[in-house]
Amino acid sequence: KFINFVRRDFKEKWLANQGDPSAVIKILEKINPNALIIGFARRFATYKRAHLLFTDLDRLARIVNNEQFPVQFVFSGKAHPADGAGQGLIKRIMEVSHMPQFQGKIIFLEDYNMIVAKRLVTGVDIWLNTPTRPLEASGTSGEKAEMNGVLNFSVLDGWWYEGYRLDEKAGWALTEKRTFTDQAQQDKLDAATIYSMLENEIIPLYFAKNSKGYSPEWIQYIKRSIGHIAPQYTMQRMIEDYIDRFYTPESKRFAALSADNNKLAKEIAAWKQKVAAAWDGIKVLDVHTKEDIHQNNTTGQPFTSVIKIDTNGLADDLALELVVDKMENNTEKRWVKIPFKVVSREGNIVTYEVSDKLRDPGVFRYSYRLYPCNPNLPHRQDFAYVRWI
């Protein structure tokens, strides 16, 4: 149905827009229902990296022009009218698709709409998704393809971060971890990984056909995909998640806040006003670390930090914690948060202490974070005052 749809519905568009009738006919003749067809269709935002496949055109040409194992890529999508970079990606795909070595092998379907999307998510063999980590919000097109027996090949981001782990023999993935901070270098690595996986895993699996003309292992991938992954990404699951995680807790909290003529809501508002009024008057009187955290981390020896604070009337309303970040590939990653304990109190003067040890080797940065604390807040960021010490 997908092949017939392309040949029927796009023939007239291509003849009208591409100018050379003979080139259009060649494209139509080269569309092969027996090829491994890989689809990429979505909104053309730059973070989705539609250009990634064209990083090494020579290698891509070898993949799509292997007569023994034919492979075709089908692209479709639209960019926002104000997104010049996204429009540039579409222009680049069109340029590549017109190159002699890619004619009929790289295909762009214009005027992306629900009909085109329906044919794509039901008609291709693989759904390709290559977002820049970690910018993928969800990836609902991949979920729709999953429902139709299309196998996903995606960066572990968005829904596929969870979906792939349900069954790693039901699709393919690029790791969620970055190797390079430089995005251009990361793009090259991801592109090389895609080429390698196509050449060494995906294409051989698809064409490992038996006497009946299909690959039994490929069919097993499809069955595992439909059986193990697809049922977890239904509208029912979405509704239940929203109800369990958001609507029910919000309903309970609204009931608690509004009871007794909004008593709790008024108490929280008054508390916030008190903290806001006194916050700038808080003074850090002394910070003392008895041992070097960096030095003792390598040996696993305990360290102790003591901090004395003039709380300016907020002694019962504050909490203090040690925050440790680990340096990995020149970037900081939150490693651990360790709460302080109150060890003494004289009026507004409160002494906090933490004793612990960092059990992992590496390069760390640390600081101390003071913040308002109230058990009636739904979460800490509901009142986002903070002071770093």
- Supply the DSSP string of 16-35, one letter for each residue: HHH--HHHHHHHHHH--TTS
How many residues in the chain?
Answer: 389
> How many alpha carbons lie under 13 Å from residue 137 in its C-beta half-sphere?
5
* pLDDT band at 127; cut points 50, 70, 90: very high
Strand duo 171-174 + 151-155: pairing: parallel
Q: What CA–CA distance (Å, rounded) separates 140 from 233?
A: 9
Identify the pLDDT of residue 44: 84
Average pLDDT for 47-65: 90
What tokens does 171 get? 């699709």
Give pTM, 2 decimals: 0.74
Q: Which one-letter amino acid corresponds to residue 280?
A: D
What tokens does 214 get? 């299909």
Q: Which one-letter amino acid corresponds to residue 150?
A: V
Q: What is the pLDDT of residues 191-241, one digit of tens each?
A: 999 999 999 999 999 999 999 999 999 999 999 999 999 999 988 998 999
Q: What is the pLDDT of residues 340-388, one digit of tens each?
A: 999 999 999 999 999 988 777 777 788 999 999 999 999 989 998 999 9
DSSP 330: T
Q: What CA–CA distance (Å, rounded) separates 226 from 230?
A: 5
Identify the pLDDT of residue 51: 84
What tokens does 277 get? 């009024």
Preceding peptide of 100 cis, ω within 30°: no
Q: What is the pLDDT of residues 1-14, one digit of tens each?
A: 999 888 888 777 77
What tokens does 233 get? 């990404």
Domain ranges of the chain: 2-233, 279-388
Percent of the chain predicted with pLDDT > 70: 96
CB 339 within 8 A of CB 370: no
- Residue with more model confidence, 387 or 328: 387
CATH number assigned to the domain with residue range 279-388, chosen from the 4 options 2.60.40, 2.40.30, 3.40.190, 1.10.3210: 2.60.40
CA-to-CA separations, 361 to 231, 293, 365, in angstroms, rounded:
41, 12, 13
What tokens does 339 get? 């709460």
Identify the pLDDT of residue 296: 44
Contacts 24+ apart (CB under 8 A), 174-183: 174/130, 176/133, 176/134, 177/133, 178/133, 178/329, 179/329, 180/329, 181/329, 181/330, 181/331, 183/132
Return the H-helix or E-strand segment holding 354: strand 349-356
Percent of the chain predicted with pLDDT > 90: 57
Residue 20 has pLDDT above 50, yes or no: yes
Average pLDDT of the residues of the chain:
89
Pick from 186, 173, 171: nearest CA to 329: 186
At 372 the three-state DSSP class reads strand
Q: Which CATH superfamily is domain 2-233 in?
A: Glycogen Phosphorylase B; (3.40.50.2000)
Residue 328, phi then psi, degrees to nearest 5: -135, 125
How big is the CA angle at 344 (ends 353 and 288), to the nearest 5 degrees?
A: 35
Q: Which one-letter amino acid corresponds to residue 166?
A: L
CB 191 within 8 A of CB 55: yes
Full 3-state SS string of 55-72: CCHHHHHHHHCCCCCCEE
> Given the structure tokens 């104000």, which residue do they identify?
82
> Given the structure tokens 């090829």, which residue do they identify?
35
